[in-house]
Structure 1
């Protein structure tokens, strides 16, 4: 007759302490790593002060009413080139269909997910009522196209549009 002896180690207080410390060290280490990665990839706040933004909202509403009253028609064609540059062609007409000249158009391609990827569009007047712009190093994907026209010392036109560039 053979007898089996149980060779399993007994659970001691020291073993429980070591496994508990190792477990919480891994949990805390992963939390610290995730917090560091979250902070490093955070693009920042949308506005610095919500209160100041709410005060400016009334002015934005008034500017939108004035823009609608002008009845301008602004046609835009945006295309991404194989080299990564984007070309903007803009045609601006007043409510009667006459070309709008002498305006200072500016534009920006904004990434909806990361403000650090935003690209300015350098827009110049090409001919009567026609404007051209370019942006460098534009990645494919979704962008917000923001176009603004200034004249007479104030903003006369503002447009936000979601576009997909290939």
Structure 2
């Protein structure tokens, strides 16, 4: 004894199915809006479009063969950080006369980025001091430009304890 499929049953199945889909989408949209972590990327479209240029710059940097060591250390307070860097060429000879800067990049707050210049101390060593607005996770970026139009870029993720 099969039950008869009426127009009402078909309508109930139809609206029930799409009601379930709509409800699931509503839950996912609400969850996505409440869990947004605030990470921002400036001009993501342009960066994606220029990706091949970034790869070419990385190859040029690799071909320079520079040996670079850089780090940071806490001074008086946790928010006062000294950045040191040492540059050497392929043969290990110190590279002096570079224009070197460091950027403490905040991945969640655009207003808190802190850029400093590093002074040359001779023997390929450079040093600078930054006063950060807050503790937490940062990306430390190092930039160097040489007289022969060489460009160097290096970065590392760091955590400043409060």
What TM-score bracket applies, with the shorter chain setting the length? 0.5 to 0.7
- Retained in 2: the 8 A contact 1:107–1:147? yes
Structure 2 match to 1:9: none
Radius of gyration: which is bigger?
A: 1
Whole-angstrom distance in 1 between the partners of 2:87 and 2:115? 20
Alignment of structure 1 residues 136-147 onto 2, 5 Å? 136-147=131-142
Distance 1:108 1:62 in 2: 22
Aligned residues: 128
TM-score (norm 2): 0.68
Out of 50, 55, 77, the position equivalent to 1:56 is 50
Aligned to 1:102: 97
Q: Which runs of 5+ in 1 are unaligned?
A: 1-33
CA contact (8 A) 2:97 2:147 kept: no
| Partners of 1:58 and 1:123 in 2: CA distance | 30
Which runs of 4 or more aligned residues in structure 1 lie more than 3 Å from their structure 2 counterparts after TM superposition? 152-155
Instruction: Indicate whether 1:113 and 2:125 are aligned.
Output: no
Distance in 2 (CA, whole Å) between partners of 1:49 and 1:153 is 30
Residue 63 of structure 1 deviates from its aligned partner by 0.8
Return the alpha-carbon distance in structure 2 between the equivalents of residues 65 and 157 of structure 1.
Answer: 11
TM-superposed deviation, 1:141: 2.1
TM-score (norm 1): 0.66
Query: In structure 2, the residue corresponding to 1:95 is in which secondary structure?
Result: coil
What's the CA shift string for 1:44-100, capped at 9, x where partnerless? Answer: x523360x3233222211110011112211111201223332101111111211001
* Residues 1-166 of structure 1 aligned to structure 2 (within 5 Å): 46-48=41-43, 50=45, 52-83=46-77, 84-152=79-147, 154=149, 156-166=151-161
Cα RMSD (Å) of the superposition?
A: 2.7
Partner SS, residue 82 of structure 1? coil
DSSP 3-state at the match of 2:93? coil
Say which SS state the counterpart of residue 105 (structure 1) adopts: strand
Unaligned runs of 5+ in 2: 1-32
